[in-house]
Structure 1
Amino acid sequence: MINRKLAIIIPTLNESEFIIFTLIALQECREQGHCIILVDGGSSDATLSYARPWVDEMVICTPPQRARQLNAGAAAAKNCDYFLFLHADTVLSAPILLQQILPEFEAQQRAWGYFSVRLSGDNWRLRVVEYMMNQRACWTGIGTGDQGLLVTQQAFAAVGGFPEIALMEDVAICAALKRQQPPHCLPMRVLTSSRRWERQGISKTILLMWTLRLAYALGVSPDYLRQWYR
């Protein structure tokens, strides 16, 4: 019997390669009465057919935009107390989430937080990348979507959800939440695909990510930044 209900909200767009691994890892959450909501941006591959047996609700949200998809998932989960926003290529241990993290959030009256991250590839440089990502998140109080975002329904509503911008919606909502309460940097790790680093090159991807964050901090439009990100 659960006291507080969790909704795990996953945005997708052509994620058939990864979505099954993400969803299977979360089935214990469903067994304990929590729900999984998949919000698709119009996939043209087998994402929806693969995911259907493993989720409680599917929401179709087009045209695709991650912030809009995440907000649509939260709207569908209005009866839940906690939201966990999770990328389709990020794997989380459900037992750790249920046995340690949710009770800790409840007992300590935490409003929001994010996980540490481990990248899936074996290249030693990825260990450096993930270390810097984790350290930066705890130093700045700003997480990224790859780390997962756990937030109470009340805190999410108080900041008006994700700003529906083309990019950096994770940075923007973390900044808004941080103004209400410092984040909880969860020591447990999620496993996130390193496909972008491996496909585009580790050094090139690091430079791109830092350039985008700096440009956003200086006020460059997310619509313009989205063109760089592609």
Structure 2
Amino acid sequence: MISIVIPVYNEAELIQQQISLLKQRISKQNYIEEIIVVDGGSKDKTLEIAASIEGIKLVQSEKGRAKQMNAGAKLASQEVLYFLHIDSTPPENFDIYIIEEIKKKNLAGCFCMKFRSNHPWLLLMSWFTKINHKSCRGGDQSLFIKKNVFEEIGGYDETYQIYEDNILIGELYKRNQFTVIQKWITASPRLYHKVGFWKLQWVYIMIYFKKWRGASPNEIYSYFLLKLK
């Protein structure tokens, strides 16, 4: 069975719709034991709306996606964790695909990801997510992982306020323990629209380069905040 962990912060406009879509994509066999929503101190009505949604466990945590996802993982009751961003929607029967991989001893992985956009660059970036290489990975693609593997790694590195997904996924690639399910999860391009397609992509490339050059978590986060102003 699977425990889903979803970190949220100020997502009042999205949370009800996205949880509803998520539930619709669970298979008839239903391998989902629980949906854990971890709020990082939202200032809008996210908590109020989340509390009204049937069938979820609502948890509060310090702000920071790594901290929130770790908090959700600690409370998860099942052996398989599935981390999902609130603006990403997995494919139909996603729970079956995850369990099939676990049965094949693939203990961690993600789905291919496409943006809900026809922008040529985002279509190209979506195509690259089919490739099983760590440079093609990102949090919007979601992550399933056996809980014992997650705990062995030490969970998400809470010193990172951005790039935390890539740090954990990098550890999985070191262990040759990562698979890409060739089914499509869809993600919102809202940050690209807000910041600008080319500007945001350049920021992501520079973050990758800075991490490769040995930049600290604080340096990476400061750069990200500066460039998104």
Partner residue in 2 for 1:148 = 142
Question: Residue by residue, what CA displacement relative to the aligned partner does 1:122-158 show, whole Å, maximum 9, x if unpaired?
Answer: 32332123223x15x6233762111000101111111
Counterpart check, 1:139 vs 2:133: yes
> 1:173 is matched with which residue: 168, 177, 182?
168
Q: Does 2:110 match 1:114?
A: yes
Which residue does 1:101 correspond to in 2?
A: 98
Q: Secondary structure at the match of 1:115?
A: strand
Distance 1:20 1:6 in 2: 21
Contact residue 39 and residue 58 of structure 2 kept, 8 A: yes
Q: Secondary structure at the match of 1:34?
A: strand
Q: Deviations over 1:95-130 (max 9, x none)?
A: 42123331x123201110011111112323321232
Q: Which runs of 4+ in 1 moved over 6 A?
A: none
- For the 8 Å contact 1:23–1:51, the answer to whether it is kept is no
Matching residue of 1:83: 81
1:224: Cα distance to partner? 1.7
Uncovered stretches (5+) of structure 2, i.e. residues with no partner: none
In structure 2, relative to structure 1, the CA distance for the partners of 1:22 and 1:205 (3 Å cut) is same
What per-residue deviation string (whole Å, max 9, x for no partner) do you get for residues 144-181 of structure 1?
11100010111111111111122211111111122223
Aligned to 1:21: 17
C-alpha separation in 2, matches of 1:11 and 1:157? 18
CA distance in 1, matches of 2:168, 2:217: 14
Alignment CA distance shift 1:69-1:16 (3 Å): same
CA contact 1:83–1:153 (8 Å) conserved in 2:
yes
Distance change (3 Å), C-alpha of 1:141 and 1:200: closer
**Contact 1:142 1:171 (8 Å CA) reproduced:** no
Distance 1:10 1:30 in 2: 19
SS in 2 for 1:187: strand
RMSD: 2.0
Asked whether the equivalents of residues 106 and 177 of structure 2 are also in contact (C-alpha less than 8 Å), the reply is no
Counterpart of 1:106 in structure 2: which amino acid?
I
SS of corresponding position for 1:25:
helix
Asked if the contact 1:141–1:174 (Cα under 8 Å) also holds between the matched residues in 2, the reply is no
Identity %: 25
Cα distance in 2 for partners of 1:153, 1:162 equals 12
TM-score (norm 2): 0.88
Deviations 1:42-80 (A, max 9, x none): 001121222221442111112x11101000000010x20
Distance 1:124 1:161 in 2: 35
Whichever residue aligns with residue 117 of structure 2, its letter is G
What TM-score, normalized to structure 1?
0.88
Partners of 1:142 and 1:192 in 2: how far apart?
Answer: 15
Equivalent residue number for residue 212 of structure 1? 207
Distance verdict in 2 for CA 1:30–1:116, change over 3 Å: closer
Q: Which residue of 1 aligns with 2:188?
A: 193
Contact persistence 1:141–1:183 (CA under 8 A): no
Q: Structure 1: which 5+ runs fail to align?
A: none
Matched, 1:126 2:125: no
Which amino acid in 1 is paired with 2:98? Answer: I
